[in-house]
Amino acid sequence: MSKKNLIVIGNGMVGHHFLEQFAASPAARDFEIRVFGEEKHLAYDRVHLSEYFTGSTHADLAMGTPDWYAESGIVLHLGEPVTGIDRDTRTVTTPEGSYTYDELVLATGSYPFVPPIEGREHPACFVYRTLEDLDAIRASAQGGETGVVVGGGLLGLEAANALKSLGLNAHVVEFAPRLMPVQLDDDGGAVLRQKIEELGVQVHTEKATTTIVEGEETRLRMNFSDDSHLDTDLIVFSAGIRPQDTLARQCGLDIGERGGIVVDNRCTTSDPHIHAIGECALWNGRIFGLVAPGYTMARTLAAALNNDEEAAFTGADMSTKLKLLGVDVGSIGDAHGQTPGARNIRYNDEQAGHYRRMVVSGDGKKLLGAIMVGDNHYYDTLLQYALNGIDLPDHAESLILPASQGGAPSLGPDALPDTASICSCHNVTKVDICGALDSGCTDLGGVKAETRASTGCGGCAALLKNVVDSELEKRGVEVNTDICEHFPYSRQELFHLVKVNGIRTFRGLIRQYGKGHGCDICKPAVGSILATCWNDHILATDHVPLQDTNDTFLANMQKNGTYSIVPRVPGGEITPDKLIVLGEVARDYNLYTKITGGQRVDLFGATLSQLPEIWEKLIAAGFETGHAYGKSLRTVKSCVGSTWCRYGVQDSVGMAIFLENRYKGLRSPHKIKMAVSGCTRECAEAQSKDIGVIATDKGWNLYVCGNGGMRPRHADLFATDLTDEELVRTIDRVLMFYVRTADRLQRTSVWMENLEGGLDYLKDVVLEDSLGIGAELEEHMEDIVGTYQCEWKTAVEDPEKRKRFREFVNAPEKTDPVQQWTTERNQRRPVAESS
C-alpha cells in the first residue's frame, strides 16, 4: 500500500511540537510527511526570542535539528510559504510547486497587529515576532537614541526591555489607562508602572497615536490625539496579535467573527481533512496566545490522527508568570474577579512596590484567580489552589501576606491532588511523576528525561523538585546528601560548620562532627573547604594527608607514576625568554613537551624526586605553579584583543591576565575555567567556560556556568556592559557563592542547574543581593586574593616539605624500574603496556 501524504503548514513552535509527537506515533508509518515554513529558519523557541538580543543565536533557540527531521523522514521546505489550498483536489501550492495531501495541518500562528495609523509604513517602524524582525530592529537601533513601543501589554514590555538592551531610551505608549490591561488591575498596573519607570523606561498611558511623521531632530515624530507628541528614532508595534488565517479564509473554511480558524475538540476544521493548531486556531470562540495550550492542541491532534477516541482539547489555563524588565508579574485564572459573587483580598505595599490580589469564591472556599506584581514567590502555591480547586485554609489572606507577618503556609507537595498539573508545557501531572518513579526513575534527572517535565519554559522547576523529593521520601528512598560514611552532612553543611566554628583541621572537624578516620571522598572535600576558608598552604602538616596525590605533589600523576608539570602562563601571554627556559628545562630532563588546549605548555615524565629541582629552575625564571593538579582556577584563555586585532574593542589579554592573577589561589569544589574575548567574534570561546567575558564597545558582557568536557553546556549571559570594577565584583560574588554552596566535584554548570530557581535565583543573589551577603562574599574573596602564595615556591623553600618528594626514602639513587621509555616523533614517551 502506498503511503498517504500529511502536510503541515507552518514550522513554528506548535507545528514542530506536533511533528515530534506525531513522528513518534504508530500512524507516522502510514504517511509521507512534509512541512512548509515561511521563515527561512528551522522552528525556534519564540518564547525566548528576546534572548537573541542578549547573545543567543538561532542555534541556541532552535527546537530541533535538520538531522532530526531527516531521520524522522520529514521533508522540510523552509523559506517556502504556502500560497493557496485547493480543497477539491487536496493540493497546496507554493512558489516552487504543488503538493497533494490526505491530511493537512495548519499551524500558521499569528501575526502582529499594526493599528491603521497614518505613517506606519515608515522604514523605522517594526513588529516583534521573528528573528528577522529582531535583526531589522537591531540594525535600525544603530545610530538611534530613542525607541518607542506601541502597546503596554506583555509583549510590548518585553520589546521595551529589548530596546533598552540595545542602548536606546525606551518609551511605552499604551492606549488603555494601565499597563498589561489583560492580566492586571489598576492597582497592579500602577505598581508595575512605578517599577518600570524606576528602571528608566518611560510609560505613557491613555495615548492614542494619530499620525507618524518625519521628525525634526529625530527620525520620527508620533502625534497623539491629545495634541501632544513624542520624538523617536524607531517604533515597534506590539498592539496585539491576530490569527494567521489567510489561507483558511481563501479556501472557505469556517472562520470566527474576529478571525481564527474554527476547530472542534479534536482540532479539526470545518473540512474533516484539514486541522488547525496553535495560535491560528479558534476553539470555543477563544484564541490561545500562549505556547502551552498550543502544545496541548498538538498532542490532541497527534492522538486524534492515531484514532484515539478519547483525544480531546478541552481548553487551557492562561495563567502567566513572568519577569518583565526584572519585575515579577503573575496573573492567575479569573484575575479580574468576573465570576458572579467573587470577593477580593488585596495586599498593597506601595513602599516596596509589592501588590497581590486574590479573587475568592463567594463562600470564601476556593481561589478563582490572583494577580501579583513585585514578587512571584507566591505564584506556584496560588496556582495550585486555583487549578486544583483545593479548599482555601482559614485566614486565606496569609497566602499573600509577606512571610514576616505570620507567613504563608506554602502548600506542601503532599497536599496536591494526583491530577494536579505540575508542568503545563508538557502536560505532566503528579500522577505522571509518580508513575515515572514507580517505573524505575530514581532522581530528578530521570523524571525529567522520562516525562519531559520542566524542559519547556522551565517555570515549574522548583515545584517539580519538591514533588519528586517528597515522593522519593514516601517511597523510602532517603534523599541522602551525606558526603560519605564519615560525616552525616552535605558539602555545603560542612562548609558552614568549618566557617562558623572556625575549625582549621580535618582532625578537629571529624572529632567534633564525624566518625572514623575519613576516606578519599571526605578528605579532599574538607581539604578544599579548609583551603577556601583559611587559605593555609596545602602541604602544611595537617593538610598533606587530605590531598589527592596530584595536590600532595603539586603535579598530575601519569599512568606510569611519573608527573606532568604545567607552569602558569596567565592569559597565554609569554615572553620569549620564558619560553626558552621552558625548552631548556624540558630538554635537560628529557620531558615530553606538548602545547595544551588551555594556552600553555605541559611537560610530562618527571619523576617525583625531580619535581622540586625542576620547579626551582622554573621559579627562578619567574614561573608560578599552574594548579593543573588542583580543584581551582586552571587558565583564563584569551584572544588577541584590541592591542593587535583589527576588530578588538577591549584589551582582552590584559583582562585575562588580571583575572587569572586574581583568582589563581582560589580552591573550589571543582576546577574553574575562564576566558576573555576581545569582541563578539569570540575567538577565546568564552561561552564554553565557567566564567566567560566578552568585550563590548561599552565594557564587558559576563557569561557564567558554561562547561566543555563530558557534558558541554553553553554559558548563560549574566550581565551586560559592565565596567572593569563591576565585572570583577560580579565574578567575585558568583565564584564565592559557588565555592560556598556547591557539592563536591560539581562544576558551575551543574551547580547552577541544581540551584533552586536556577539562573534567575543566581542573578537575584549576585546582582540584586537578595540574600544580603554580597559584601561578605567580596570580602572573603579579597582575603583569598590577599593571602595567595605560589605553592611550589613555598614547597621548594622548605626542607621539611621537600622531604616528601623522595621517590624511595631509603634509596635516593634508585630509579623506578617499571618506568620504561621509548622514543616517538623525536620525544620520549612511556612504553605501551604489553597487554
Partner 1 sequence: MKTRTRWDAVCEVSDLIPDSGIAVWTEDGPVALFYLPDRLPALFAISHTDPFSGSNVLARGITGDLNGEPVVASPLYKQHFSLRSGECLEDPSVQVPVYRVLLDGDRVRLEISVARSEVAA
Q: Which of residues 765-804 bind partner 1 (CB under 8 A)?
A: 803-804
Q: Which of residues 655-694 bind ligand SRM (CB under 6 A)?
A: 671, 673
Q: Which is nearer to ligand FES, 386 or 655 (CB)?
A: 386
How many angstroms separate the CA atoms of 688 and 715, rounded? 6
635 scored as a contact of ligand SRM (CB under 6 A):
yes
Burial per residue of 757-786, b for 16 or more beta-carbon CB atoms within 10 angstroms, e otherwise: ebbeebbebbbeeeeebbeebbebbeebbe
Residue 790 annotated as lining a ligand binding site:
no
46 scored as a contact of ligand FAD (CB under 6 A):
yes
Q: Which does 708 bind (CB under 5 to 8 A by kind): ligand SRM, partner 1, ligand FAD, none?
A: ligand SRM
Give the residue from 664, 684, 679, 701 showing the smallest Cα distance to 568: 664
Phi, psi angle pair for 738, to nearest 5°: -60, -50
CA-CA distances (angstroms) from residue 7 to 4, 257, 271, 290, 323?
10, 27, 15, 23, 37
153 scored as a contact of ligand FAD (CB under 6 A):
no
CA-CA distances (angstroms) from residue 592 to 552, 617, 830?
22, 17, 10
Q: Which is nearer to ligand FES, 456 or 830 (CB)?
A: 456
Q: Which is nearer to partner 1, 78 or 544 (CB)?
A: 544
833 scored as a contact of partner 1 (CB under 8 A):
yes
For residue 277, give every residue at least 6 positions away whose Cβ sits within 8 Å of its Cβ, in sequence order, or none.
14, 15, 18, 105, 106, 107, 263, 267, 294, 297, 298, 300, 301
Quick note: the x/- pattern for partner 1 over 561-600, rule CB under 8 A, is x---------------------------------------
271 scored as a contact of ligand FAD (CB under 6 A):
no
Q: Considering only 182-190, 254-262, 362-370, 707-715, which stretch makes contact with ligand SRM by CB under 6 A?
A: 707-715
Are 679 and 695 contacting, i.e. CB atoms less than 8 angstroms apart? yes
Residue 645 annotated as lining a ligand binding site:
yes
562 scored as a contact of ligand SRM (CB under 6 A):
no
Quick note: the x/- pattern for ligand FES over 439-468, rule CB under 6 A, is --------------xxxxxxxx--------
Q: Which does 232 bind (CB under 5 to 8 A by kind): ligand FES, ligand SRM, ligand FAD, none?
A: none
Residue 609 DSSP symbol:
T
**Residue among 15, 524, 692, 830 that touches ligand FAD (CB under 6 A):** 15
Residue 522 annotated as lining a ligand binding site:
no
Name the closest residue to ligand SRM (Cβ): 709
How far separated are the first and last CA of the chain, in Å rounded? 56
Q: Which is nearer to partner 1, 45 or 807 (CB)?
A: 807
Residue 639 annotated as lining a ligand binding site:
yes
Size of the site for ligand FES (CB under 6 A): 11
Kindly write down the DSSP assignment for every residue of 268-308, as one continuous string: B-SSTTEEE-GGGEEETTB---SHHHHHHHHHHHHHHHTT-
Q: Which does 833 bind (CB under 5 to 8 A by kind): ligand SRM, partner 1, ligand FES, none?
A: partner 1
| CB 467 to ligand FES: min, Å | 12
Q: Considering only 235-243, 515-523, 610-618, 702-710, which stretch makes contact with partner 1 by CB under 8 A?
A: 515-523
How many angstroms separate the CA atoms of 35 and 72, rounded? 12
Are 162 and 53 contacting, i.e. CB atoms less than 8 angstroms apart? yes
Q: Which is nearer to ligand SRM, 590 or 723 (CB)?
A: 590
Q: Which is nearer to ligand FES, 49 or 92 (CB)?
A: 49
Residue 690 DSSP symbol:
S
Q: Which is nearer to partner 1, 468 or 483 (CB)?
A: 483
How many angstroms separate the CA atoms of 346 and 328, rounded? 17
Residues paired with residue 75 on neighbouring β-strands, in sequence order: 34
Q: Which of residues 190-249 bind ligand FAD (CB under 6 A)?
A: 244, 247
Q: Which is nearer to partner 1, 519 or 579 (CB)?
A: 519
Q: Which of residues 455-494 bind partner 1 (CB under 8 A)?
A: 485-486
Quick note: the x/- pattern for ligand FAD over 276-315, rule CB under 6 A, is --xx---------xxxx-x---------------------
Please give the radius of gyration of the chain, using alpha carbons only, rounded to the nearest integer.
31
Phi, psi angle pair for 10, to nearest 5°: 110, 115
**Residue among 37, 572, 641, 648 that touches ligand FAD (CB under 6 A):** 37
How many angstroms separate the CA atoms of 671 and 738, rounded? 12
Give the residue from 457, 434, 309, 459 showing the smallest Cα distance to 383: 459
594 scored as a contact of ligand SRM (CB under 6 A):
yes
C-alpha cell at 493: 553543611
| CB 571 to ligand SRM: min, Å | 12
541 scored as a contact of partner 1 (CB under 8 A):
yes
Quick note: the x/- pattern for ligand FES over 410-429, rule CB under 6 A, is -------------xxx----
Q: Which does 39 bind (CB under 5 to 8 A by kind): ligand SRM, ligand FES, ligand FAD, none?
A: ligand FAD
C-alpha cell at 289: 496566545
- 596 burial (CB, 10 Å; 0-12 / 13-18 / 19+) is middle
293 scored as a contact of ligand FES (CB under 6 A):
no
CA-CA distances (angstroms) from residue 762 to 59, 694, 719, 749?
25, 20, 12, 12
Longest dimension (CA), the chain: 97
Residues paired with residue 11 on neighbouring β-strands, in sequence order: none
How many angstroms separate the CA atoms of 564 and 604, rounded? 4
Kindly write down the DSSP assignment for every residue of 378-440, as one continuous string: GHHHHHHHHHHTPPPPSSGGGGTS-GGGT------GGGS-TT-EEETTTTEEHHHHHHHHHTT
Kindly write down the DSSP assignment for every residue of 667-715, as one continuous string: B-SS-EEEEEESSTT-TT-GGGSSEEEEE-SSSEEEEE--B-TTS-BPP
Q: Which is nearer to ligand FAD, 48 or 496 (CB)?
A: 48
Are 561 and 604 contacting, i.e. CB atoms less than 8 angstroms apart? no
Q: What angle do CA 390, 391, 393 make, to 5 degrees?
A: 125
Q: Which is nearer to ligand SRM, 36 or 703 (CB)?
A: 703
Q: Which does 279 bind (CB under 5 to 8 A by kind): partner 1, ligand FES, ligand FAD, none?
A: ligand FAD
| CB 617 to partner 1: min, Å | 23
Q: Which does 139 bind (CB under 5 to 8 A by kind): ligand FES, ligand SRM, partner 1, none?
A: none
How many angstroms separate the CA atoms of 391 and 128, rounded? 41
Phi, psi angle pair for 156, to nearest 5°: -60, -45
Residues that bind partner 1 (CB under 8 A): 485-486, 516-520, 522-524, 541, 544-550, 552-553, 557, 559-561, 803-804, 806-811, 814, 816, 818, 833
Residues that bind ligand FAD (CB under 6 A): 9-15, 36-39, 46-47, 49-50, 81-82, 107-109, 128-129, 155, 158, 244, 247, 278-279, 289-292, 294, 322
Residues that bind ligand FES (CB under 6 A): 423-425, 453-460
Residues that bind ligand SRM (CB under 6 A): 556, 558, 564, 566, 594, 596-598, 600, 602, 628, 634-635, 671, 673, 707-710, 747
Which segments are annotated as binding site for siroheme?
Answer: 683
